[in-house]
Amino acid sequence: MRIKVLVVDDESLARQRLCSLLADCTEPAATVVGEAANAVQAMAVLQHHEVDTVLLDIHMPGMDGLALAKTLQTLPHPVAVVFVTAYAEHALEAFDLAALDYLTKPVRFERLQSALQKIERLTHTNKGLEADLSQDSLVIHERGRTERVPLAQVLYLKAELKYITVRTASRSYILEGSLSELESRHASRFLRIHRNALVARRAVRALEKHHDPEEGEGWAVRLDGVDEVLFVSRRQLAAVRGLVKKA
């Protein structure tokens, strides 16, 4: 497929560079359906063209990119927003607006190609782009990089000191936050198995006897996607057993 792209930046040279990079993208390929120097021009293009994603600058005269992104969320058919800016300090606010990615200038070809691949994956899911953009995600900020991790990919959340380990099948992330708050917000997705751990309900595979160096003899859950097991407290054992029986 070809990703249909609208490039929005008040600097013509910046637009030219992005269009040049997009022309070289092949996995997937991209087609620039329009360019805009401000929010008014961008909305005009969107009224007349089908667009998959908007490459959007933040600092522009008039309505800035963050405000335009909020407007784009109200469209009948939402588009994926990828911010392209020289100002990395806006990353957290950008991801709060459900931005799919955040590229800093000067944009590297590899990062642009990676952003397009994310869009391609979304459009090929059964839920489709609209559902994915509205699903719950965790915003992870570490080592100067900010990333949205869909909760559908998270296998467990484990509190360690003042941080939470967020584990997916492919890697671990570190998140600052409250495990209790995550539990209350996402109870339909996660089950508490211990004072320091929540597991994805969909990922629970088995309950088995286990010896823990700190907890002693007890039970642990085994999850799809990871080799490690997680200890279950006596208080949560009945709930975990009930979940395993339903699986």
Q: Return the residue matching tokens 């995550």.
A: 182
- Tokens found for residue 247: 């699986």
Mean pLDDT, all residues of the chain? 85
**Secondary structure of the chain: what % helix, strand, coil (to 5)?**
35, 35, 30
Predicted local distance difference test score (pLDDT) of residue 99: 75
Q: Which residue has the higher pLDDT, 233 or 75?
A: 233
**What's the pLDDT score for residue 77?**
72
Are residues 155 and 126 both part of a single domain? no
Spatial CA neighbour of 152 closest among 137, 133, 162: 137
- The crossing angle, in degrees rounded to 10, of helices 12-24 and 109-124 is 70
**Alpha-carbon span 210 to 220, nearest angstrom:** 6
Q: How many domains does the chain have?
A: 2
**Which of 102, 135, 168 is a domain's end point?**
135
Residues 191 and 82 in one domain: no
Q: What are residue 79's phi and psi, to 5 degrees?
A: -115, 155
The per-residue pLDDT for 74 is: 78
Give yes or no: residues 65 and 112 share one domain. yes
Residues 86 and 8 reside in one and the same domain: yes
- Kindly state the average pLDDT of the residues 117-131: 59
Contact call for residues 25 and 55 (beta carbons, < 8 A): no
Query: Is the overall model pTM greater than 0.85, yes or no?
Result: no
Same-domain pairing of 22 and 50: yes
77 shares a domain with 163: no
Please write the tens of the pLDDT for every residue from 208-225.
Answer: 998 877 777 899 999 999
pLDDT of residue 129: 43
Last residue of a domain, one of 135, 162, 184: 135
The whole-number pLDDT of residue 203 equals 94
Among 85, 77, 78, 74, residue whose Cα is nearest residue 8: 85
Q: Mark whether 11 and 122 lie in a shared domain.
A: yes
CB proximity list for 130: less than 8 A, separation 6 or greater: 77, 78
For residue 125, pLDDT beyond 70: no
Closest by CA position to 81, among listed 6, 172, 175, 163: 6
Q: What is the pLDDT of residues 147-163, one digit of tens each?
A: 888 898 999 999 987 78
Q: In this structure, what CATH number is given to the domain that contains residue 188?
A: 2.40.50.1020
SS3 23: helix
Print the domain residue range for 99.
2-135
Q: Which of 28-37, 60-69, 180-189 has the highest mean pLDDT?
A: 28-37
